[in-house]
Amino acid sequence: MGNEQIKDKTVDNDSPALLVKVNDFKISETPITNLEFKEFIDKTNYITDAQKFGFSYVFFSLLNDEQRKKYSKVPNADWWYVVTQATWDHPEGIESNIDNRWDFPVVHVSRNDALEYCKWANKRLPTEAEWEYSARGGLLNSIYPWGNDFLDSNNEMRCNIWKGEFKYSETTNFETKNGVIKVKSFEPNGYGLYQMVGNIWEWCLNPARIDYKFFNEMSALKMKE
C-alpha cells in the first residue's frame, strides 16, 4: 500500500509504497447511503454528533451568497463554513433535506457515528490497509483505481472530485455546484466497488499517522470495536 509515485511523505500524510498483509474480509459495494443510515436512525433513535453539537461543516460551493454571509468560515480553511443544524438529513442546513437523495452517501457522520452504525449492522470499519486494497480494485502500480489515465476515452471524469479554481476566495470561479452524487454514478472498480475515489471522505478503523513499522502487524489483525 502507499503511493508508488513518491519517495517521502506528502502533506496528505501519504507515504511510499510498502508491503502490507491483510486477511480475507468483506466490504460494502458502495458507501453507506442515506436510506441505509435512516433505517439505523429509525430503529435505534440514535442522535449523531452533529445533531448534539448543533452544527457541522459545509463546503462553500454548496451555499448561496446569503448563506455565506450568514455563517462563519473555518479559520485557516475558509472554503468550509460552520453551518448550524447541518446534519445527515439536512446536509446544507435546516432549509435543506434528502428527499431526493436516498441513494446518495450519508454525510455529516463522525467516527463515533460510523462506529455506532457498524455496531448496529454487526459490521466494522475497514482498516486503512483493507480500504486501500479495496480501492485499488486488483491493480498494482497504478495512479488511479482504474489505471493511469485520469480521464476516460471521451475526456470525461471517472470520479466526483473538485472541479474549478482552488483555493477558495471571494472571487473564485468554479465550473459547477460541486457536491455529493449518487453512489453508483460511475463505473465500479475491478472488485465491483463504487466510488472508492472521490465524492466523500470515508472512515477507517485504525488511527491515522501511526508509526509505519507497526502498520503491517496492526493491519493484519481482525480488529474489533
Q: What is the pLDDT of residues 89-102, one digit of tens each?
A: 999 999 999 999 99
**How much of the chain, in percent, has pLDDT values that exceed 70?**
76
User: What is the value of pTM for the model shown?
Assistant: 0.81
Dihedral (C-alpha) 114, 121, 33, 50: value to the nearest 10 degrees? -30
Contacts 24+ apart (CB under 8 A), 208-211: 208/13, 208/128, 209/13
Q: What does DSSP assign to residue 57?
A: E
Q: What is the pLDDT of residues 3-15, one digit of tens each?
A: 555 455 554 555 5
Domain definitions of the chain by residue range: 1-27+126-219
**CATH of the domain spanning 1-27+126-219:** 3.90.1580.10
